[in-house]
Amino acid sequence: MPENNSFEERLEQMISEVKACQKEKNHDSCMKCEKLIGCELRKQYVQVTYESMSKGEIGGFEF
């Protein structure tokens, strides 16, 4: 179970980083940012979100 918490902690950290970036750029969504395509922070956020949903397992996740 502690391993699942690490996925959630990483996700919460990434959410905080994305929100800070949005605030800095005065956006309420990444979709409004001119740097959306190729954004390394967004790429990391998507990866961490996927890992959180799949709990580190390859091939899928539970809703």
Summarised one tens digit per residue, pLDDT across range 24-52 is 999 999 999 999 999 999 999 999 998 88
With respect to residue 61, please indicate whether it lies within any of the assigned structural domains.
Answer: no
Summarised one tens digit per residue, pLDDT across range 9-28 is 999 999 999 999 999 999 99
With respect to residue 35, please indicate whether it lies within any of the assigned structural domains.
Answer: yes
Q: pTM above 0.85?
A: no
With respect to residue 62, please indicate whether it lies within any of the assigned structural domains.
Answer: no
Quick one: pLDDT band at residue 54, thresholds 50, 70, 90?
confident
Q: Which domain covers residue 39, as residue numbers? A: 2-54
* pLDDT value for 62: 54
Tally of structural domains, the chain: 1
Given a contact cutoff of 8 angstroms between Cβ atoms, the answer to whether 30 and 36 are in contact is: yes
With respect to residue 59, please indicate whether it lies within any of the assigned structural domains.
Answer: no
With respect to residue 60, please indicate whether it lies within any of the assigned structural domains.
Answer: no
With respect to residue 63, please indicate whether it lies within any of the assigned structural domains.
Answer: no
* pLDDT value for 17: 98
